[in-house]
């Protein structure tokens, strides 16, 4: 790339002056100066480089400092989105609100169509009304803009059909044919929000109806988005993978883990690999241990029958917690391509030391909540929840100590825990650094001298904190931990798109980075299955219960205490 440094510096100094003085950088000025300066525009005062075209889009200081990675992203092409299981909760609570927001933010293609496919008999109008009522309740922006909804919902259709009935798929095909525009008939996103037992059948029937072609065609595309749970153990996940890939290429299958759609989870890669200072500390030489907590205040509520089949290990650890762990601990990918990132995640998951059944009681704690109190309100025990067996042995809390047997993390414990009916809803990763050598301040203060930590607060109050020690001002020599905190809200405002918005958009544009590949899902099941084998069919012992509103059983504390560690509970941030 050719650069003319003096011109470039002049451009940037001028840009910075305009911005800092409160005057926006005028596009025409910027353009002329950049063209005159050669092919590259340097923002020299922060030592960042931008290609010429990008320079011309910078209007504010933030933009001057912003490095855009998505200029090469493919535009979303006109298409139809077909939601199977459309009368379920997910459609009304998550999918339609997400699509509506993408629409008002002009991120959906033009034209687009949405078809809800479900068994229940209902008219299009009735379905739209139902969705509108739900949107008013679940929309992240309120009030819902009635005019926008009118325009959006004119693209929303309903197809009554039975998943196992060939004629229903013909009906769907006819409905698509009526849309006229070829892209609306041939670019198709099939969203499986059905019960997992129906995934394979729907995909097979779509294929037989010639709506889903198994190819990676450049001209037209069909993709299948699959909701969790993806299987209930390794054999069932393998079976499902092989059933789906008979009718759709792996590249056409988008397996959802909604945690990957969260901004803060995506930011883990940026935080690690766009900052030299942190990455250098990221390994056994500096890190003492890592804690990952995903706590929920809610109990199982009305999801008793689902939860009886899953429990915390399959519901949360197999997917969300292991995904976060993979992002926190993986090696740098060779590129930002989906496959490179997914390759590294799989490598990491494969490095998790497998637990022999005899080691499970030593490394894993399971527990179930009993009646208790949260925020002053009485809470039912799990066994008293609707649709839960009164002698259920399903775990609602799990804590574990894992090791990642690779060069970087050898010997560093990773503590994971998740549970329902805990005192606080919060997800965070705490990277606890090694203590200083036992001289100087450490020798004087002993264990009172706090070791440094970085906390990635995934939700709520999203942010990143660095904890270190500082002198308390005054004539006496006193130290205490202080915190440097980056808050998304303060820095970027309260823009918190729902995970499903991002995931739907990525699926529409065909980028699989935020979705799980078959080997990723299978490797994660391997980790979880080993634990379940260790548990066997043994009922919960007396020690394996915790009152709602507490941070789990004492055994979870003992798990860390034996290595001289202690859980750091997420703190409410007000």
Contacts with ligand BG6 by CB under 6 A: the residue count is 3
Smallest separation (angstroms) from ligand BG6 to the CB of 510: 24
Buried b (16+ CB within 10 A) or exposed e, 69-81: eeeeeeebebbbb
207 is catalytic: no
501 binds ligand BG6 (CB under 6 A): no
Nearer to ligand BG6, 185 or 262 (CB): 262
Q: Helices in 315-378 by DSSP H: which ranges? A: 322-329, 338-351, 360-363
CB-based closest residue to ligand BG6: 315
Q: Give the strand pairing for 426-433 and 545-547.
A: unpaired
Nearer to ligand BG6, 315 or 522 (CB): 315
Nearer to ligand BG6, 172 or 422 (CB): 422
Residue 145 Cα to chain centre, angstroms = 28
Q: Is the dihedral of CA 99, 103, 106, 109 positive or negative?
A: positive
Q: Are 48 and 65 in contact (CB under 8 A)?
A: yes
Contact mark string toward ligand BG6, 290..319, x via CB under 6 A? ------x------------------x----
Smallest separation (angstroms) from ligand BG6 to the CB of 188: 26
Q: Are 320 and 419 in contact (CB under 8 A)?
A: no
Contact mark string toward ligand BG6, 241..280, x via CB under 6 A? ----------------------------------------
Smallest separation (angstroms) from ligand BG6 to the CB of 379: 15
Q: Are 508 and 79 in contact (CB under 8 A)?
A: yes
Nearer to ligand BG6, 115 or 429 (CB): 429
According to DSSP, the residues that pair with 200 across neighbouring strands are none
Q: Two tokens at 105?
A: 């933010």
- Which element (helix H / strand E) includes 373? strand 372-374
- HSE at residue 149, side-chain half, CA atoms within 13 A, is 18
Nearer to ligand BG6, 78 or 311 (CB): 311
Q: Which of residues 414-473 bind ligand BG6 (CB under 6 A)?
A: 427
Query: 3-state class of 4 per DSSP?
Result: coil
Nearer to ligand BG6, 98 or 449 (CB): 98
Smallest separation (angstroms) from ligand BG6 to the CB of 319: 7
Single out the residue of 519, 569, 520 nearest to residue 549, CA to CA: 569
Smallest separation (angstroms) from ligand BG6 to the CB of 70: 24
Q: Rounded to the nearest 10 degrees, how much is the dihedral formed by the CA atoms of 311, 315, 317, 319? A: 160
Q: What share of the chain is helix, strand, coil (3-state, %, to 5)?
A: 45, 20, 35
Among 213, 232, 258, 320, the one annotated catalytic: 320
Smallest separation (angstroms) from ligand BG6 to the CB of 87: 19
Q: Are 559 and 548 in contact (CB under 8 A)?
A: no
Smallest separation (angstroms) from ligand BG6 to the CB of 427: 6
Q: Two tokens at 130?
A: 């139902």
Q: Two tokens at 345?
A: 């995640």
Q: Two tokens at 119?
A: 């068994």
Nearer to ligand BG6, 257 or 522 (CB): 257
- Residue ranges that bind ligand BG6, judged by CB under 6 A: 296, 315, 427
Query: Active-site residue numbers?
Result: 320
């Amino acid at each position: 790339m050719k650069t003319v440094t003096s011109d470039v510096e002049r451009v940037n100094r001028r840009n910075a002056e305009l911005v800092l003085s409160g005057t926006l950088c005028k596009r025409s000025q910027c353009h002329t100066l950049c063209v005159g300066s050669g092919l590259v525009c340097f923002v020299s005062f922060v030592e960042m480089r931008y290609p010429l075209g990008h320079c011309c889009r910078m209007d504010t200081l933030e933009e001057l400092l912003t490095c855009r990675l998505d200029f090469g992203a493919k535009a979303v092409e006109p298409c139809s989105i077909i939601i199977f299981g459309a009368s379920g909760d997910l459609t009304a609570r998550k999918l339609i609100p997400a699509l509506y927001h993408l629409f008002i933010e002009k991120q959906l293609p033009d034209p687009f169509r949405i078809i809800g496919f479900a068994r229940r008999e209902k008219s299009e109008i009735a379905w739209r009304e139902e969705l509108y009522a739900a949107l008013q309740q679940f929309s992240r922006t309120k009030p819902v803009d009635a005019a926008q909804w009118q325009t959006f919902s004119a693209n929303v259709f309903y197809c009554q059909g039975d998943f196992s009935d060939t004629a229903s798929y013909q009906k769907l095909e006819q409905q698509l044919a009526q849309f006229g525009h070829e892209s609306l008939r041939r670019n198709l996103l099939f969203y499986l929000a059905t019960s997992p037992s129906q995934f394979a059948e729907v995909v097979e029937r779509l294929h037989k109806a010639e709506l889903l072609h198994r190819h990676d065609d450049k001209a037209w595309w069909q993709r299948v988005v699959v909701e969790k749970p993806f299987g209930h153990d390794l054999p069932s996940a393998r079976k499902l993978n092989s059933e789906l890939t008979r009718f759709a290429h792996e590249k056409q299958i988008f397996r959802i883990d909604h945690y990957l759609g969260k901004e803060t989870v995506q930011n883990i890669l940026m935080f690690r690999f766009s900052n030299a200072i942190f990455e250098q500390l990221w390994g056994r030489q500096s890190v003492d241990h890592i804690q990952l907590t995903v706590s929920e205040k809610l109990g199982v509520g009305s999801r008793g029958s689902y939860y009886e089949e899953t429990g915390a290990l399959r519901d949360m650890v197999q997917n969300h917690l292991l995904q976060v762990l993979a992002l926190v601990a993986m090696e740098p990918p060779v590129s930002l391509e989906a496959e490179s990132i997914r390759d590294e995640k799989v490598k990491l998951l494969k490095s998790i030391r497998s637990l022999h059944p005899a080691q499970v009681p030593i490394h894993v704690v399971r527990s179930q909540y009993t009646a208790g109190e949260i925020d002053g309100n009485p809470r039912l025990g799990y066994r008293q929840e609707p649709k839960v067996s009164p002698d259920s042995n399903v775990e609602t809390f799990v804590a574990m100590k894992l090791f990642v047997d690779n060069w970087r993390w050898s010997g560093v414990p990773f503590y994971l825990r998740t549970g329902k009916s805990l005192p606080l809803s919060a997800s965070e990763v705490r990277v606890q650094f090694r203590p200083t050598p036992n001289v100087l301040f450490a020798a004087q203060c002993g264990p009172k001298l706090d070791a440094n930590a970085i906390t990635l607060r995934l939700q709520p109050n999203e942010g990143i904190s660095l904890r270190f020690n500082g002198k308390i001002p005054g004539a006496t020599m006193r130290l205490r931990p202080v915190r440097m905190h980056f808050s998304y809200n303060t820095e970027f405002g309260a823009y918190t798109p729902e995970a499903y918005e991002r995931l739907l958009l990525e699926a529409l544009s065909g980028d699989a980075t935020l979705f799980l590949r078959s080997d990723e899902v299978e490797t994660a099941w391997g980790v979880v299955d080993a634990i379940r084998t260790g548990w066997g069919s043994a009922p919960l012992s007396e020690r394996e219960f915790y009152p709602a509103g507490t941070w789990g059983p004492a055994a979870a504390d003992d798990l860390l205490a034996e290595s001289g560690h202690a859980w750091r509970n997420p703190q409410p941030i007000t």
